[in-house]
A and B are shown apart, each in its own frame.
Chain A
């Protein structure tokens, strides 16, 4: 377990984390901070306050800044929200459309080859 500090930067100042928290990895710390940002934002929005200008500064035990987590990042409406598609899904849809177009081209080519072959047979049969 490593010790991380989560200083909260607000429009009015910086609230130092004097306690810190233990996590196995920075990724775990970041994910937990994301959950905290979502929950804190929810409470702030309920109180008609704007959480969009807050951010966590996640620091190591020696106070080295490791990563910043702007609340605006976790509040951003993901493309997968109603009316939109996630990037992964859009890519998958585009790939599927390409495959369908290629299949159509291939089928058309096969059909044309068959017709050509039939024409050749007809021509040869007439000799």
Chain B
């Protein structure tokens, strides 16, 4: 049954059985990895236990272009993908939060397309590409989940490109704060860990450190955020989202396989 099911029929069957409207990539991958899906789904990942690695802050997982034979899933901490430009400056091109795949493109290309470094201490689970391939053949939703990871990272990149190209310094900063909050917290007012330094923010936002400093203080002075001791509170999300031109729709999973209408 598992082998013969098409992705569409498999997802529909899974949805009917679990009562879930959608199967989210993060949930699915998490469930596959920690075995919780085995209680409600057709089975846990086959084979030997997965390799878990713990990296200290600042440690580089991959160089740009490095060959990769495994898919790395972030379980804890914050990581970044970054590129060095000609004058030695760094541009951060992606931030990864728990649940994200750090190098999904390497499964297709065989190598990474940016350097990946731990921003905080991180814990990752590595799934050999051979097992990813087996799992996709065994469970079509695994392939869909991987495709969603790539699609979501593509959506994030598009927003970042719009920020770097067209948004003002305060707008792109507000947008990033809204985005990180949406990706790491379900609550709009809860203080979330915000371990990015001004230097790291500058590398993400394409701004100088002093400019980032000024913008953060502008947002604080306007009563929109509180940032202290590496914790961020959004005090006025509607206004911050307005300044940041932020609409969280690009972060949400659509439903690629809607139930046919009767």
Contacts and interface: CB of A to CB of B under 8 A. Distances in A.
A39 B208 contact: yes
Q: With a 10 A CB-CB cut-off, give which of A15, A19, A23 has the most chain B CB atoms.
A: A19
A40 B211 contact: yes
Interface string A3-37: 00010100000010111111100000100110110
A56 interface: yes
B210 A56 contact: yes
B199 A8 contact: no
Interface in B37-56: none
Interface residues of A, number: 19
B168 A6 contact: no
Main secondary structure of the interface of A (DSSP, over half): mixed
Contacts of A8: 214
A15 B216 CA distance: 13
A50 interface: no
Nearest to B221: A15
A115 interface: no
B208 A35 contact: yes
A90 interface: no
A105 interface: no
B235 to A, nearest CB: 16
B207 interface: yes
Given A17-B217, A19-B216, A19-B217, A39 B211 contact: yes
A19 B210 CA distance: 10
A73 interface: no
A22 B210 contact: no
Main secondary structure of the interface of B (DSSP, over half): helix
Contacts of B214: 6, 8, 17, 36, 40
A112 B65 CA distance: 69
Contacts of B150: none
Contact of A23 (B168, B207, B209, B217): B209
Contacts of B207: 36, 39
B198 interface: yes
Contact of A35 (B199, B210, B217): B210
A117 to B, nearest CB: 59
B185 interface: no
Contacts of A21: 198, 209-210, 213
Q: With a 10 A CB-CB cut-off, give which of B169, B199, B211, B217 has the most chain A CB atoms.
A: B211
B7 to A, nearest CB: 47
Nearest to A8: B214
Nearest to B213: A21
A56 B213 CA distance: 13
Interface in B161-216: 168-169, 197-199, 207-211, 213-214, 216
7 contacts: A6-B214, A17-B214, A19-B217, A21-B209, A33-B210, A39-B208, A56-B210
Given A32-B209, A36-B208, 9 more contacts: A6-B214, A17-B213, A29-B210, A35-B208, A35-B211, A36-B207, A36-B214, A39-B211, A56-B210
**6 A-B pairs with least C-beta separation:** A36-B210, A35-B208, A36-B211, A36-B208, A33-B210, A32-B208
